[in-house]
Chains A and B, each alone.
Chain A
């Protein structure tokens, strides 16, 4: 392990974090513009060309807002909760490869930060701890709406994590590895979304629930719980929650594209490794667009119906999918 390697890691990590935070800023803009178009409006277009500077204006506004901490709140937890929410969102994509490797300044640089053998498991583990931030925020605010939001999100995330985890078992079985790179390489000819349609759909819906996006945005259901777990938050602490939500959106889009849509694979990517990140980026954008589209279109499902859907429909489907996939893999594998 030489010094150059460590520098490479540091630079790649910093790049990833900057990419995710920058991506967050522009996903908010994308969402606002797309929503506006779908709602016969125009959307933010005053700050900069096409409103491109709007995220910066928003950030400045949020920084200068007053930081409020409710009197009855558990102060330490109240302050820590947004941080705990953002960190898993930022680190989860560490195992996602952006491409094979490229040659830069005479160095062969792998386009992934960590090539972990248990990559998929790592993703699951980080997902499972991401519920803490929301739960803590809901609890520490000492507010009934926030408490409801926290309770809802905990229950919802636990329920949908099962289906989410099981939906990822399909690709693992097909690729025969938990290494994310191997899974991408196994999709060279055919993306797993075609081999695993049920798994893909379950993954898509479960992630919507997991990141609290419409129509599963129960924990913050504006119409019922005002803002759910972040009711009491203001200024940058609120911004961190906002950030975590959108970064998670990008992250699940990236993971989903990698596991089911072939990740960085695409035509000519072998000859031109630079195309890898571009393909991945394109897939992520399409995924995000669909997320936004759904938000503009569908009413929110009621909470009990959501839980019923998670336990009674998605979980059995995912389980069945694993079962069938396992049998088929065993039958078709040559010994």
Chain B
């Protein structure tokens, strides 16, 4: 990166390319650039190499059925901070082919597969373009606007049929299962034999066979039912002895097409729905979604509400990092001891969440323009006790017993290494990116809410191994405690919600992307509104889903036992990965 890249202005971007390659997106409410499909690769390479947009954070697409085209949307950032570069490729629906960016940004791998899977846009040049969330035999691409699910009633909620004359009717009773199931032509479920996953298995890298000893690889399916995949997740590994030759993650067992459901919901109905993504960090999910919608609505959040929001987000981070480090130890084989001690601390924070929101995990606490309930002084006092006394004490204890534990260090140091360049290229986020030595934290790089007023450090590691990820998490708990202390000191009084509480919000047409630094990485929501009460497009940038892209590069060459720990250090939640 040269000095010129730092000051290369985006305003004159269009002029830097031959005419017709790039144009500004001038639809009302939209921003960024529209790139011609033929020149996408060249454009992206210039942006990466000459403009410093080295971090491709999000790839998604939205379906404009009326106009007969798809928008493939890319959000790229500089890891030194600053706003996004948004670029789009528009392709007609009949000819939905886009060049793949995997060669430039390996982190686009899973995201492009997801777009292909759900939207049916083919990425030319993608090395392994298979479905990722749906199963191989699935018919159709469910996020297309003309795809209708079984039990389809209307495009958007609230469905009129649900409450005829004020009485609820079960949808299953009205629509018995068999009447509404779509089968592809010629498909007979009785006689169907699942096809062998030859594509998956043949995609695995192999070592050249050792002719002298005639050794062979062993292919093991770790999962979907496996005690340490943190849910229903599968890793297909090819092994040479105990050494991993290659690994392919297989996911989607928990897929429920969150995005399609959310596009049927109204904007506010989606708030509790975001809780279900990463069910351990519902507050941050709420935060990102609220930010995205507020950006569209142009709402200003009252100061007290901002403080409360950040307070909750940081408590969530403390809770999540405790949980993650505890379960990392579990993956190392410390029969639950560390995780149970971690859960004890987590419970105290969950108690606070319960007190303010009524629910321990599915908080549904944020509203557009604020939060739903005020935080009483008693709760603030409780939080005060937590961050000034209990949690630092317990954290020191944790630190004392674990950080220098001989076995922990030998198992974690130098294992699952991701260099800084790799981490950026693979679009990892959160503690993984920072443990690799990249000081990229959305709270600092692109401050939202009141983070620009708060004093805290962005923690980075030096080696990018599991041990550094552990250390980063522990240190981030300390930073979060620091933030919470400042918030408790400065929290003003005042309203907690801009305007009146409303069931239905008016969201002007346009697109927006709201992102926060969630405990697991950059949590973002890409929302397209067309002025109706429901989002036209709702996409989740799920941090752990994208972080999983780095699983295979980290695992190659390591031992079977390490893969489990590497996965544990990514800290995945399948509710978010599979959506």
Contact indicator per residue, chain A 272-300, by CB within 8 Å of chain B (1) or not (0): 00000000000000000000000111111
Residue of A nearest to B221 (CB): A144
B218, B227, B340, B341: which contacts A222 (Cβ < 8 A)? B227
- Contact between A214 and B335, CB atoms less than 8 A apart: yes
Q: In the complex where A299-B407, A302-B562 touch, is A215 in contact with B333 (Cβ < 8 A)? A: yes
- Contact between A221 and B561, CB atoms less than 8 A apart: yes
B344, B410, B560: which contacts A305 (Cβ < 8 A)? B410
- Contact between B334 and A299, CB atoms less than 8 A apart: yes
Closest chain A CB from B469 CB (angstroms): 15
B332 interface residue per 8 A CB criterion: yes
A-B contact pairs, 25 of them (CB 8 A): A39-B341, A144-B218, A144-B220, A145-B220, A148-B220, A148-B560, A221-B333, A223-B227, A224-B564, A225-B560, A296-B337, A297-B334, A298-B334, A299-B329, A299-B334, A299-B407, A300-B333, A300-B334, A300-B407, A302-B410, A302-B411, A303-B561, A304-B242, A304-B559, A305-B410
Minimum-distance CB pairs A-B, first 4:
A300-B333, A299-B332, A223-B228, A39-B340
Q: Which of A210-226 contact B (CB under 8 A)?
A: 214-215, 217, 221-226
- Contact between B407 and A298, CB atoms less than 8 A apart: yes
A-side contacts of B340, CB under 8 Å = 39-41
Q: How many inter-chain residue pairs (CB < 8 Å) link A and B?
A: 81
A92 interface residue per 8 A CB criterion: no
B-side contacts of A301, CB under 8 Å = 407, 410-411
A38 interface residue per 8 A CB criterion: yes
- How many chain A residues touch the partner (CB < 8 A)? 28
B-side contacts of A41, CB under 8 Å = 340
A35 interface residue per 8 A CB criterion: yes
- Contact between B564 and A39, CB atoms less than 8 A apart: no
B448 interface residue per 8 A CB criterion: no
B226 interface residue per 8 A CB criterion: yes
Complex Cα gap A295–B411 (Å): 17
Which residues of B are in contact with A by a Cβ distance under 8 Å?
A: 218, 220, 226-228, 242, 329-337, 340-341, 344, 405, 407-408, 410-411, 559-564
Residue of B nearest to A296 (CB): B337
- Contact between B344 and A40, CB atoms less than 8 A apart: yes
Q: In the complex where A298-B407, A299-B334 touch, is A224 in contact with B341 (Cβ < 8 A)? A: no
B-side contacts of A38, CB under 8 Å = 337
Closest chain B CB from A48 CB (angstroms): 24
Complex Cα gap A224–B565 (Å): 9
- Contact between A299 and B218, CB atoms less than 8 A apart: no
Residue of B nearest to A39 (CB): B340
Closest chain B CB from A287 CB (angstroms): 19
Closest chain A CB from B336 CB (angstroms): 6
Closest chain B CB from A137 CB (angstroms): 18
A-side contacts of B335, CB under 8 Å = 35, 214, 295-296
Complex Cα gap A297–B220 (Å): 30
Complex Cα gap A299–B470 (Å): 15
Q: Which of A115-137 contact B (CB under 8 A)?
A: none
- Contact between A224 and B334, CB atoms less than 8 A apart: no
A-side contacts of B410, CB under 8 Å = 301-302, 305
- Contact between A39 and B337, CB atoms less than 8 A apart: yes
Q: Which of A1-57 contact B (CB under 8 A)?
A: 35, 38-41
Complex Cα gap A223–B235 (Å): 13
Complex Cα gap A252–B80 (Å): 59
A-side contacts of B341, CB under 8 Å = 39-40
Closest chain A CB from B38 CB (angstroms): 47
Closest chain B CB from A16 CB (angstroms): 30
Complex Cα gap A223–B341 (Å): 19
A-side contacts of B332, CB under 8 Å = 223, 299-300
B-side contacts of A224, CB under 8 Å = 228, 560-561, 563-564
Closest chain B CB from A302 CB (angstroms): 5
B-side contacts of A217, CB under 8 Å = 333
Complex Cα gap A55–B456 (Å): 53
Residue of B nearest to A306 (CB): B561
- Contact between A302 and B337, CB atoms less than 8 A apart: no
Closest chain B CB from A226 CB (angstroms): 6
- Contact between B227 and A302, CB atoms less than 8 A apart: no
Q: In the complex where A145-B220, A217-B333, A226-B226 touch, is A300 in contact with B561 (Cβ < 8 A)? A: yes
B-side contacts of A298, CB under 8 Å = 334, 405, 407
Residue of A nearest to B560 (CB): A224
Complex Cα gap A304–B242 (Å): 9
Q: In the complex where A144-B220, A223-B331 touch, is A299 in contact with B227 (Cβ < 8 A)? A: no
Closest chain A CB from B322 CB (angstroms): 14
Closest chain A CB from B245 CB (angstroms): 15
Contact indicator per residue, chain A 247-290, by CB within 8 Å of chain B (1) or not (0): 00000000000000000000000000000000000000000000
Complex Cα gap A296–B218 (Å): 33
A-side contacts of B559, CB under 8 Å = 302-304
Residue picked from B333, B411, B563, most chain A C-beta under 10 Å: B333
Residue of A nearest to B335 (CB): A295
Residue picked from A35, A221, A302, most chain B C-beta under 10 Å: A302
Q: In the complex where A217-B333, A223-B227, A223-B228 touch, is A299 in contact with B408 (Cβ < 8 A)? A: yes
A-side contacts of B228, CB under 8 Å = 222-224
Closest chain B CB from A191 CB (angstroms): 28
Complex Cα gap A81–B562 (Å): 30
Residue of A nearest to B223 (CB): A226
A-side contacts of B220, CB under 8 Å = 144-145, 148
Complex Cα gap A298–B335 (Å): 8
Closest chain A CB from B156 CB (angstroms): 44
A40, A226, A299: which contacts B333 (Cβ < 8 A)? A299
Complex Cα gap A298–B334 (Å): 5
Complex Cα gap A303–B242 (Å): 9
Residue picked from B334, B335, B336, B405, most chain A C-beta under 10 Å: B335
Q: In the complex where A221-B561, A222-B227, A304-B559 touch, is A299 in contact with B242 (Cβ < 8 A)? A: no
Q: Which of A312-328 contact B (CB under 8 A)?
A: none
Complex Cα gap A209–B265 (Å): 56
- Contact between B334 and A302, CB atoms less than 8 A apart: no
A-side contacts of B334, CB under 8 Å = 296-300
Closest chain B CB from A205 CB (angstroms): 13
- Contact between A223 and B330, CB atoms less than 8 A apart: yes
B-side contacts of A296, CB under 8 Å = 334-335, 337
A-side contacts of B411, CB under 8 Å = 299-302, 305
Closest chain B CB from A129 CB (angstroms): 26
B-side contacts of A39, CB under 8 Å = 336-337, 340-341
Closest chain A CB from B470 CB (angstroms): 12
Complex Cα gap A224–B235 (Å): 12
Residue picked from A224, A295, A297, A301, most chain B C-beta under 10 Å: A224
B-side contacts of A302, CB under 8 Å = 410-411, 559, 561-562
Contact indicator per residue, chain A 76-97, by CB within 8 Å of chain B (1) or not (0): 0000000000000000000000
- Contact between A214 and B333, CB atoms less than 8 A apart: yes
Closest chain B CB from A156 CB (angstroms): 12
B-side contacts of A305, CB under 8 Å = 410-411
A-side contacts of B563, CB under 8 Å = 224
Complex Cα gap A35–B410 (Å): 25
Residue of A nearest to B401 (CB): A297
Residue of A nearest to B563 (CB): A224
Closest chain B CB from A68 CB (angstroms): 15
Complex Cα gap A122–B333 (Å): 34
Complex Cα gap A165–B24 (Å): 78
A-side contacts of B408, CB under 8 Å = 299
Extra contacts, 9 of them, besides A39-B337, A223-B561, A302-B561 (Cβ < 8 A), are A39-B340, A217-B333, A223-B330, A296-B334, A299-B329, A299-B408, A299-B411, A303-B242, A304-B559
Residue of B nearest to A301 (CB): B407
Q: Which of A183-237 contact B (CB under 8 A)?
A: 214-215, 217, 221-226
A-side contacts of B227, CB under 8 Å = 222-223, 226
Complex Cα gap A155–B226 (Å): 24
Residue of B nearest to A222 (CB): B227
Residue of A nearest to B343 (CB): A40
B-side contacts of A215, CB under 8 Å = 333, 407
